[in-house]
Amino acid sequence: MSGMALDILIVGAGVAGMEAARVAAAEGAKVLVVERMGPGGQVATVDRITNFPGHDEIGGFELGPMLQDAADEAGAEFVLSEVAALAPVAGGWRAAVDGTPLDARCVILACGSERRALGVPGESAYAGRGVSHCASCDGGFFRGETVVVVGGGDSALDEALVLAPMVGSVVLVLRGTEFRATQGQETALAGQPNITVLRETEVIEVQGDDSGMTGVVLRDGGGTRVLPARGLFVYVGLTPRTALAEGLAERDQDGRLVVSGRMETTAPGLFAAGDIRQGSRALLAEALEDGQKAARAALGFLQTGLAAGQQG
């Protein structure tokens, strides 16, 4: 890929990135998408997605390839890899991909976000050995076992409902007193006899042995206790993947990139779409719209003949 001249480099193949690729490539731009996880990004780990434009319900594992097919048909190219560095150069931007320089006239960052960790002792030690962020991926390993889900939002309730028919029992740990989810999810949760909700409770430690995770230490108003469990699924928010833009474009206090209504960052020729931009509500329909806006803005930028570090 050395010396490859691109019109638009898109980092991330989630909903925003793939939609940006489709729109830009359909207009004749030379587009390359670089993604480390595969098409769909985090969406591919979601069991059921409801009300995605054009679909009442679709599996996350189906949505990713569907988005890639649409981008492929439009003429975009896809590489399974990771962008290690990004810097402005005369005439555009230079990215390091697998140690190889890759030049593009402009860049759309659609890197998405990653699940936030609890940050408690034992969590990282048992990652992949009981601790997970994907119920549909890992739930089958815990048939007949007790698992713990942490969180009170839509994702936590969704994943608890996915786990319920797979495992022996689900303990949903809620730090506060009220859920931050839709009423429909709460109603569905109440109809699952093997889901127990613990309110005003925190997981403060993950325990285990050579076989993997064996339990969690809980803290509530009455003190601490050990809850035996083989799995822990954590859904306590998202952290935007904006490290590539550090020192290049302005970020807000949450680490998200500050953008205009056209998805322009504060760096000329650098655009952002999806979860990583300021004000994102992490909604799929919103990410789809972001991708369209970023693509159109990037196409407009190409037409002006301006690029980072160069006028005219």
From 196, 213, 235, give the residue that closes a domain: 235
Q: Copy the structure tokens of residue 271.
A: 């655009």
What is the model's pLDDT at position 155? 85
Q: Which of 47, 134, 154, 252 is catalytic?
A: 134
Mean pLDDT confidence for 75-94: 94
Same domain, 255 and 292: yes
Asked if residues 194 and 168 have their Cβ atoms less than 8 Å apart, the reply is: yes
- Determine how β-strand 231-234 pairs with β-strand 195-198: unpaired
Residue 87 pLDDT more than 60? yes
From 207, 235, 263, give the residue that closes a domain: 235
137/44 Cα distance (integer angstroms): 10
Q: Which of 98, 137, 220, 254 is catalytic?
A: 137
Same domain, 60 and 137: no
Give the up-direction half-sphere exposure of residue 238: CA atoms within 13 A in the CB hemisphere: 21
Residue 3 pLDDT more than 50? no
Q: Per-residue pLDDT tens for 248-297?
A: 999 999 899 999 999 999 999 999 999 999 988 777 889 999 999 999 99
What is the model's pLDDT at position 270? 97
Residue 1 lies in a domain: no
Residue 106: active-site member: no
From 181, 206, 235, give the residue that closes a domain: 235
Element (H, E) at 161: helix 154-163
Nearest-10 Cα torsion for 285, 242, 83, 109 = 40
28-50 b/e (C-beta count within 10 Å ≥ 16 → b): ebbbbbbbebebbbbbbbbbebe
CA 287 → CA 17, 167, 284, 293, distances in Å? Answer: 8, 33, 5, 10
Same domain, 77 and 138: no
Residue 156 lies in a domain: yes
The full DSSP string for 16-38 is: HHHHHHHHHHHTT--EEEEESS-
Same domain, 129 and 203: yes
Q: Per-residue pLDDT tens for 120-170?
A: 999 999 999 999 988 888 899 999 999 999 999 888 998 999 999 999 999
Same domain, 104 and 61: yes
Q: Per-residue pLDDT tens for 100-123?
A: 899 999 999 999 988 889 999 999
Q: Per-residue pLDDT tens for 168-180?
A: 999 999 999 999 8
Residue 137: active-site member: yes
The answer to whether the predicted template modeling score (pTM) of the entire model surpasses 0.85 is: no
Q: Per-residue pLDDT tens for 217-253?
A: 999 998 999 999 999 999 998 889 999 999 999 999 9
Q: Which of 7, 72, 103, 138 is catalytic?
A: 138
49/67 Cα distance (integer angstroms): 14
What proportion of the chain, given as a percentage, has pLDDT over 70?
95
Residue 287 lies in a domain: yes
Same domain, 51 and 78: yes
Same domain, 29 and 109: yes
Q: Which residue range forms the structural domain that includes residue 47?
A: 6-114+238-310
- Sign of the C-alpha dihedral, residues 249, 298, 11, 139? positive
Same domain, 18 and 86: yes
Q: Residue 184: which of 159, 160, 154 has the closest Cα?
A: 154
269/276 Cα distance (integer angstroms): 17
What is the model's pLDDT at position 51? 66
Same domain, 268 and 134: no
Q: Which amino acid is at 174?
A: L
Residue 44 pLDDT more than 80? no
Same domain, 221 and 302: no
CATH number, residue 205: 3.50.50.60
Residue 1 pLDDT more than 80? no
| Number of domains observed in the structure of the chain | 2
